[in-house]
């Protein structure tokens, strides 16, 4: 269950406390996040909304270990990630986080299969085990017949489904989706949201999603708004 | 595990235009490097192969080359009687007293004069210099104004065909044979009767400049040397013929190598900038891909290795092309002035396996320098920012 008031949820998978993030632009200090609290449990599907520049993507980057907070703590599955070195954080990301980006961020010179296989190259799985995992992930997203296609040979919706397969292939602790439908037409966007909901229902994934799209947000279990650097639960 | 090599291979082929800039630059530098090293190698080989490990070169004490040396006839006889010297079937000592004269003769291609080395020898010379063989005509007859011409001299000096009658030293001579000596420096010489040569150039008869002694075996050298240097009647020095000729090649081959290396290094620096440019633009164009790989969990080290490997791949292709481009010079004949003899010497570019390997190593070194800084930049890209780059 998602909480933003800072009271402890003993079952929380992700716990954020008093999170601050400041940016410096010359002599100017920009407070993006101020004293933000968040508790997310296993199996939650959370949507973050808010105007441009409100810090949604910054929050996602901090949760994914792509950026470091100015203050506060982020604890995931008992591990405090804000104290990790860059090297440890890379290994942590590989083990715990699956990323889905607005622009899919597939490697254009690799096939769908090779793109999905990338996170598994950081594991100790054998080649045959990797192949099995990749085939499973691609079948979950319905692209078993597109394994040897390059990203340029796929539609936007298919590319995003490959990106989702890549995000889930190593069975990460949670998924971070940054505007996953932002570059897609309505039909493709709905298919992607169906897929994410299915991952929650059938595979008990935990998903945190940033979106501008109210229709995508309403598919989430919880919608949180970023206002003045803090999270506020939306009334639904 | 590292970022898959497929990623680099396909990225290079996808960006082939900018990759070619680096490849061509590296190939050029490697080609020049190999050509210059082959030139020095060919020069060194031409001189070194002139020597035999069964021969010893004898000079006056303190002389560093034949032109500085003088050995009297009596001393030559004593050298022949020295321990370790081989004897022929008739029991004669196998020594070749030789005099050397440098004279200007017109070159075939330009007509301008070039210094040509003439070697005044005896009938024993072809037996002592075991690579010597007549390939056309015959050997000169002693006491007659005949001469035999080395194959290279035959190609480069005007009027050195069999039957020709060149004039020098105030008299006419007749070319009666062409010889070769395994591509060595002798091939650029003209051999004739020692006494007639001395007479023609007003040298004292019975005064030689060097003696080449055929030894009983290569291991007899120390015995020969000890006997020679301990004889109070002789003020001579000796060294293995191979060592003597290797030393003669040092100055010019070192100069060629040094100049060649300097040219190659300057070209190499240019090629490194080409590689740097290629790799920096690769990093710039692929910053989102790099950030994605980093987000997926690939560490900074993996990114550095990946981009350095990519740069090395490009440089390897450049190196191989440079080697291929340099291969046609192998065996190509050139001539130059040998500082030690002040005479024209023809020799061939000699591309060898080690030189090609050096060329590849040079290419990889350029690739390493051209790749490491862009790779470090790639690894240090701020992930969050780079992920959003278009």
CB A110 to CB B7 under 8 A? yes
Contact yes or no for B296 and A94 at CB 8 A = yes
Min Cα distance B383 → chain A (Å) is 6
Q: Indicate yes or no: CB of A107 within 8 angstroms of CB of B300.
A: no
Comparing A144-153, B66-75, B254-263, the range with the smallest average pLDDT is B254-263
Q: Which residues, in sequence order, are bridge partners of residue B167?
A: B172
Nearest-by-Cβ selection for A122 from B11, B298, B387: B298
Which pLDDT value is given to residue B226? 94
Is the minimum CB–CB distance between A68 and chain B shorter than 8 Å?
no
pLDDT 10s digits, B140-160: 999 999 999 998 889 889 999
Mean pLDDT of B379-384: 88
Q: Tokens 């009767």 appear where?
A: B193
Helix-helix angle A156-168:A127-140, to 10 degrees: 130
A58 neighbourhood in chain B, CB within 8 Å? 384
Q: What number is the average pLDDT over the span B9-37?
A: 87
Residue in A95, A99, A109 closest to B11 by CB? A109
Task: Give the pair of three-digit tokens for residue B246.
Answer: 């290797």
Contacts of B296 in chain A (CB under 8 A): 93-94, 99, 118-119, 122, 166
B383 touches chain A (CB under 8 A): yes
Q: Residue A7: what pLDDT?
A: 79
Question: How far is it, in rounded angstroms, from Cα B130 to Cα B35?
Answer: 31
Using a CB–CB cutoff of 8 Å, tell me whether A61 touches chain B: yes
Looking at residues B258-270, what average pLDDT do you find? 84
Partners of A91 on chain B (C-beta within 8 Å) are 297, 299
Percentage above 70 pLDDT, chain B:
97
Determine the pLDDT at residue B341: 64
What average pLDDT does the segment B223-252 reach? 87
Strand B146-150, strand A71-76: pairing: unpaired
- Cβ separation B14–A109 shorter than 8 A: yes
Residue B382 Cα, gap to closest chain A Cα (Å): 8
Are A121 and B289 within 8 A, CB to CB?
Answer: no
With an 8 Å Cβ cutoff, is A66 touching chain B? yes
More confident residue, B381 or A160: A160
Identify the helix (H) or strand (E) that includes residue B287: helix B287-296
Contact at 8 Å (CB) between A115 and A160? no
Which chain B positions have a beta carbon within 8 Å of A93's beta carbon? 295-297
Confidence of residue B9 (pLDDT cuts 50, 70, 90): confident
Size of the A and B interface in Cβ pairs below 8 Å: 74
A69 at the B interface (CB within 8 A)?
no
Residue B347 touches partner A, C-beta closer than 8 Å: no
Q: How far apart are CA A91 and CA A217, in angstroms?
A: 30
B297 pLDDT higher than 70: yes
Tell me whether residues B297 and A61 touch, CB distance under 8 A: no
Largest CA distance in chain A: 55
Testing the interface with B: which of A118, A126, A175 to mutate, by most B Cβ within 10 A? A118
Contacts of residue A132, Cβ cutoff 8 Å, sequence gap at least 6: none
Domain ranges of chain B: 5-48+250-388, 62-234
Quote the ipTM score. 0.91
Closest approach of B21 to chain A, Cα-based (Å): 21
Residue pair A231/A224 in contact by the 8 Å Cβ criterion = yes
Which residues from A are below 8 Å from B2, CB to CB? 121
Residue-level pLDDT at B358 = 93
Comparing CA positions, the residue from B206, B143, B214, B136 lying closest to residue B176 is B136
Q: State residue B219's pLDDT score.
A: 92
What pLDDT shows up at residue B1? 63
Inform me whether the C-beta atom of residue B298 falls under 8 Å from chain A C-beta atoms.
yes
Superfamily of domain A42-68+85-233: P-loop containing nucleotide triphosphate hydrolases (3.40.50.300)
Q: Where are the alpha helices (DSSP H) in B157-240?
A: 194-200, 221-230
* Closest-CA residue to A205 (of A127, A124, A100, A49): A100
CB B292 within 8 A of CB A105: yes
Query: pLDDT above 90 covers what percent of chain B?
Result: 48
Q: B265 and chain A: CB distance < 8 Å anywhere?
A: no
Is the pLDDT assigned to residue B19 strictly greater than 70? yes
Q: How far apart are CA B172 and CA B182, in angstroms?
A: 29
Measure Cα distances from A130 to A122, B87, B201, B289, B321 in Å. Answer: 11, 78, 87, 22, 38
User: What's the confidence (pLDDT) of residue A36?
Assistant: 92
Per-residue pLDDT for chain A (236 aa), expressed as one digit of tens each? Answer: 788 777 777 788 999 999 999 988 888 988 899 999 999 999 999 999 998 888 999 999 999 999 999 999 999 999 999 889 988 999 999 999 999 999 899 999 999 999 999 999 999 999 999 999 999 999 999 999 999 999 999 999 999 999 999 999 999 999 999 999 988 899 999 999 999 999 998 888 899 999 999 999 999 999 999 988 888 876 55
pLDDT at B169: 87
- Residue A150, min C-alpha distance to chain B (Å): 12
Q: pLDDT tens digits, residue range B336-364?
A: 766 666 667 777 888 999 999 999 999 99
Asked if A88 reaches chain B (Cβ–Cβ under 8 Å), the answer is no
Residue A195 CA to its chain's centroid (Å): 14
- Residue of chain B nearest A169, judged by CA positions: B296
Q: What is the pLDDT at residue B263?
A: 84
pLDDT value of residue B77: 92
The string over B373-384, giving b where at least 16 C-beta atoms fall within 10 Å of a residue's C-beta and e elsewhere, is bbbebbbebebb
At residue A210, the pLDDT reads 94
Q: Is B5 at the interface with chain A, CB within 8 A? A: no
For B328, counting Cβ atoms within 10 Å of its Cβ (0-12 exposed, 13-18 middle, 19+ buried), the class is exposed
**Pairwise pLDDT comparison (B249 vs B177), residue with the higher score:** B177
Q: What residues in B contact A67, CB-CB < 8 Å?
A: 383-384
- Spell out the alpha helix ranges (H) of chain A: 56-63, 86-96, 112-117, 127-140, 156-168, 186-203, 214-217
Contacts of B151 (CB under 8 A, 6+ apart): B135, B178, B179, B180, B187
Which of A63, A101, A105 is best to mutate for the B interface (most B CBs within 10 A)?
A: A105
A91-100, B135-144, B256-265, B307-316, range with the lowest pLDDT: B256-265
Whole-model pTM: value is: 0.73
A-chain CB neighbours of B14 within 8 Å are 108-109
Angstroms from B15 CA to nearest CA on chain A: 11
Average pLDDT of the segment spanning B42-58: 82
Over residues A59-106, the pLDDT tens digits come to: 999 999 999 999 999 999 999 998 899 889 999 999 999 999 998 999
Residues of B in contact with A122 (CB under 8 A): 1, 296-298
Q: Looking at residue A235, what is its pLDDT?
A: 56
From B298's Cα to the closest Cα of chain A, the distance in A is 6
- Supply the pLDDT for residue B339: 65
Q: Give me the mean pLDDT over the B19-36 stretch.
A: 89
**Which of B1, B292, B310, B382 to mutate to test binding with chain A, by most A CBs within 10 Å of its CB?**
B292
Task: Please name the residue that has the structure tokens 């006056």.
Answer: B60
């Amino acid at each position: 269950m998602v909480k933003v008031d800072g009271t402890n949820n003993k079952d929380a998978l992700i716990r954020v406390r008093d999170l601050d993030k400041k940016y410096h632009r010359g002599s100017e200090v920009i407070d993006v996040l101020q004293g933000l609290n968040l508790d997310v449990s296993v199996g939650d599907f959370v949507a973050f909304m808010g105007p441009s520049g409100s810090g949604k993507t910054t929050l996602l980057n901090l949760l994914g270990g792509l950026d470091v907070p100015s203050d506060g703590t982020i604890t995931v599955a008992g591990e405090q990630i804000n104290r990790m070195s860059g090297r440890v954080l890379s290994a942590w990301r590989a083990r715990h986080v699956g990323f889905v980006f607005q622009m899919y961020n597939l490697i254009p010179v690799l096939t769908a299969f090779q793109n999905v296989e990338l996170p598994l190259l950081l594991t100790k799985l054998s080649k045959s085990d990797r192949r099995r995992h990749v085939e499973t992930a691609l079948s979950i997203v319905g692209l078993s017949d597109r394994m040897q296609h390059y990203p340029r040979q796929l539609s936007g919706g298919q590319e995003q489904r490959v990106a989702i397969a890549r995000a889930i292939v190593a069975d990460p602790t949670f998924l971070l989706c940054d505007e996953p439908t932002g570059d897609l037409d309505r039909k493709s966007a709905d298919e992607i949201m169906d897929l994410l909901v299915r991952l929650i229902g059938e595979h008990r994934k935990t998903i945190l999603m940033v979106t501008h799209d109210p229709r995508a947000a309403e598919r989430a279990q919880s919608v949180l708004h970023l206002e003045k650097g803090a999270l506020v639960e939306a009334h639904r | 595990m590292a970022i898959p090599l497929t990623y680099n291979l396909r990225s290079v082929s996808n960006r082939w235009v900018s990759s070619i800039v680096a490849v061509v630059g590296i190939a050029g530098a490697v080609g020049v490097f190999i050509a210059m090293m082959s030139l020095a190698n060919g020069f060194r080989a031409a001189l070194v192969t002139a020597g035999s490990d069964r021969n010893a070169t004898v000079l006056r004490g303190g002389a560093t080359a034949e032109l500085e040396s003088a050995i009297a006839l009596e001393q030559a006889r004593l050298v022949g009687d020295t321990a370790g010297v081989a004897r022929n079937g008739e029991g004669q000592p196998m020594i070749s007293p030789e005099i050397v004269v440098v004279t200007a003769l017109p070159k075939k291609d330009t007509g301008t004069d070039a210094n040509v080395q003439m070697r005044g020898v005896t009938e024993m010379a072809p037996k002592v210099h075991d690579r010597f063989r007549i390939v056309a005509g015959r050997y000169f007859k002693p006491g007659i104004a005949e001469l035999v011409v080395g194959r290279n001299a035959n190609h480069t000096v005007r009027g050195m065909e069999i039957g020709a009658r060149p004039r020098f030293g105030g008299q006419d001579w007749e070319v009666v044979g062409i010889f070769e000596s395994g591509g060595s420096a002798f091939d650029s010489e003209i051999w004739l009767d020692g006494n007639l040569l001395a007479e023609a150039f007003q040298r004292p008869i019975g005064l030689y400049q060097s003696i080449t002694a055929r030894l009983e075996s290569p291991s007899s050298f120390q015995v020969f040397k000890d006997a020679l240097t301990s004889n109070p009647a002789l003020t001579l020095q000796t060294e293995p013929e191979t060592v003597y000729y290797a030393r003669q090649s040092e100055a010019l081959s070192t100069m060629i190598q040094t100049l060649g290396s300097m040219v190659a290094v300057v070209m190499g620096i240019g090629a490194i900038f080409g590689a740097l440019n290629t790799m920096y633009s690769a990093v710039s164009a692929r910053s989102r891909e790099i950030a994605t790989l980093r987000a997926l969990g690939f560490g900074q080290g993996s990114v550095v290795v990946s981009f350095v490997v990519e740069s090395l791949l490009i440089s390897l292709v450049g190196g191989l092309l440079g080697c291929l481009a340099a291969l046609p010079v192998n065996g190509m004949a050139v001539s130059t002035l040998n500082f030690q003899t002040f005479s024209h010497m023809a020799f061939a570019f000699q591309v060898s396996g080690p030189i090609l390997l050096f060329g590849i190593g040079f290419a990889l070194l350029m690739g390493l320098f051209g790749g490491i800084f862009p790779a470090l930049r790639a690894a240090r890209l701020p992930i969050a920012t780079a992920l959003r780059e278009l």
